[in-house]
Amino acid sequence: MEALDPRDRLESWKEIASHLNRSERTVRRWEDKEGLPVHRHAHDKRGSVYAFTWELDAWRESRRQLMEAEPPELVAAAAPGPRRWIWLGVAITLGLAAGAGVWFLSRSSSPAVRTPNPEAERLVGLANFGLNAGRTQIETGIRYYQDAIRLDPGHARAWSGLAAAHLVRVWFGEVPAIEAAAQSRKEAEQARRLDPALSQPVRVLAGISHFVDWDHPRAEAEFRTAMELDPKDAVNASWYADFLVDMRRFDEARTFYARAHDLLPRWLEPIAFAGNAHFFSGNPDLAIVEYERVLESEPNFGLGNHFLGRALVAKGEYEKGIARLRKSNELLGDVPISHADLGYGLAVGGRRGEAEALRDELVRRRTKGYYPAFPIAAIEVGLGNTGAAFDWLDRAAEERNMGFYMPSADPVFDAVRSHPRFKALLKRLHLDTVRP
């Protein structure tokens, strides 16, 4: 999932005050009296705060009358001492002497600095869906990104955010992967044309190469290019780790999830996904520790509940696992990835009738419009209907949507991993060289 841009996080009262164009005293008062969204670090020291620009902007929009009633404040700078006045005079003299020549040269040689539309910038901040992704967050993000682009067609980050949202919508909505990938690719390429130094669109193109085109060597090269363009972007590291999990390179995946967490400690997704690297490599107990760690911070984190439910089912704790999967299905917005694992959990947990009813409902949805095949395949695996499972997996391959994780790594398919049709499927997905 897409996380926030590091520039969207403010790390002190001074930065918060500057963003709102007010004094520190005023923003502290607003936090106390007006609900200004300011967060504190775990150690809860009074002065150790941070805030997100999109939350501040949304608060500012909701308090427009308050903002108009309290005009912007100018914070006085400290007066320079005698020694500083001497150096200031020297600087002014040198500046005046050189200014005309510098100005003349800069007009012809310096590239113009692009100033984004302020309202578009605000909308891009509001569009961020990566802190707790689900159907609603992604659909809302798409609308905000589109509105930002209408206001400012040259806003590269809006284009790259829209590209990411359209790609992940494949698992959080009922959209054909081939169409979504084509749209996402166009948007990512537009972002690259606008800003070739931006890493986000390269990351999106890598995701398309891996999940839809099944060109895994190209995907790895693109992920590495994205990380070279911006080594401090946590999402680059996390998406690359997702790729490594599918390639069953679990130790490497844990390394890059840890890097993502170090770069953006408040982002929960890399912690939860690091749990998947443990789970998929046969250590569900270690995975559960990671999932529970995440849910202590945010009990309603949809993907955290989802992955914990999967691990509990794998351990045979079916009632607890199914309860978590029901909760995650509600939190995520009744989406295909949660249908797949809930149906599988019901099937292996002895609730065969409920699993069959869910499968039949999903099949009916395909008669009324597009609905992906991969959740139905997972339910059939859980029911032990091997032939039907592979028929649906073949349909999923035709649709170029194999689910949130590729069959090469997903433990749901452990029961059929030795079947000749499964080996043929991996070859079709260009994953037949992945070590078991």
On the question of pLDDT at 29 being above 50, the answer is yes
Environment class of 337 (CB within 10 Å of its CB; exposed 0-12, middle 13-18, buried 19+): buried
Write down the pLDDT at residue 244: 97
Tell me the average pLDDT across 124-131: 80
The pTM is what?
0.75
Report pLDDT for 183. 96
At 330 the pLDDT is 96
338-382 pLDDT tens trace: 999 999 999 999 999 999 999 999 999 999 999 999 999 999 999
**133 or 401, which is more confident?**
401
Q: Is 225 exposed, middle or buried (0-12, 13-18, 19+ CB in 10 A)?
A: middle
Q: How far is CA 20 from CA 48, 60, 63, in A?
A: 18, 8, 12
Q: What is the mean pLDDT of the chain?
A: 86
Separation of alpha carbons 391 and 359, rounded Å: 14
At 19 the pLDDT is 85
Cα–Cα distances (Å) from 382 to 80, 355, 377, 385, 416, in that order, read 74, 9, 9, 8, 10
pLDDT, tens digit, for every residue of 151-175?
A: 999 999 999 999 999 999 998 888 9
Residue type, 273: F
SS3 268: coil
Per-residue confidence (pLDDT) for residue 96, from 0 to 100: 34
Residue 102, pLDDT > 70, answer no
The per-residue pLDDT for range 137-150, each reduced to its tens digit, is: 899 999 999 999 99
DSSP string for residues in 145-196: HHHHHHH-TT-HHHHHHHHHHHHHTTTSSS--HHHHHHHHHHHHHHHHHH-T
Torsion angle defined by CA atoms of residues 376, 380, 383 and 385, in that order, rounded to the nearest 10 degrees: 160
What is the model's pLDDT at position 5? Answer: 53
3-state DSSP call for residue 253?
helix
